[in-house]
Amino acid sequence: MADYFTHFSCLFDVGTAANATRAIDIYETAVLDGDPDHPLSDGFSASIDDEAGGTTLWISDDASGDPECVIAFVLLCAEAFDLKGLWGFEYANTCSRPRLDAYGGGAHAIDLGARKSIGWVSSYEWLTTVLAGGDPDA
């Protein structure tokens, strides 16, 4: 049996050390889509990156992560700390065994001020579209 994984590692600057501490509280208590059985903390790890002055969070996966949890967390922080600007991250999909549909990745871009995802790309979907003769920019 194959095991599937989603990996990512990124930094998220929340502006101040106090915000970083509060962000960890949000991370530890927030849930995805109001579902108490789906805490955001199940989808990734978050810690304060002291090397960046204590204002930045290091977001990564433990063994496999959930990009949707990361997006929800970032949007909660954007709201809580009135963050502005663009932020994004990349992810990689891997597998413990060779499988035809098991590898790829993508990226998400978020407008912190508008509090929404502004775009994403999946390498698997892009390649499938191109090989089928479709417009990858459509």
Tokens of 109: 């871009």
Q: How many CA atoms lie within 13 A of 119 on its CB side?
A: 4
Tens-level pLDDT at each residue, the chain (138 residues)? 899 999 999 999 999 999 999 999 999 999 988 899 999 999 999 999 998 789 999 999 988 999 999 999 999 999 999 999 999 999 999 999 998 888 999 999 999 999 999 999 999 889 989 999 988 777
DSSP H/E element including 129: helix 123-131
Which residues have CB under 8 Å from 52's CB, separation 6+? 11, 13
| Prediction pTM value | 0.91
